[in-house]
Amino acid sequence: MECSVHARGKDGRRKLRCAGCGRTFTDLTNTPLAHTHLPLTIWATAARMMVAGRPTCSELSLRLKVKLATAWRVRKILTIALNDADLRQVLVNEDPA
């Protein structure tokens, strides 16, 4: 499979086009973060908080500086994603810089 950079989205992410089928995609396609408008740094911070314990939506909202509804959505998506043992292991072993 060969891909080439096709364009950039509104968020600045590179859009790639598959030479075989012509479909376009980004690095987040088919991931829990595919349709998010939040910076990946917020998702990474939230994921670290989720691995370290079970933060409430209020705690996430305060720490991430997002609305309560956004914190609820982030927590819901990460709770589902963190049930994936491989992803959880990556986050546990990540060196927080």
- CB neighbours of 92 closer than 8 A, spacing ≥ 6? 51
pLDDT digits (tens, 9 = 90+) for 54-76: 899 999 999 999 999 999 999 98
27-56 tens-digit pLDDT: 777 777 777 778 889 989 999 998 888 899
Instruction: Label residues 37-63 b or e (16+ Cβ within 10 Å = b).
Output: eeeeebbebbbebbbeeebebeebbee
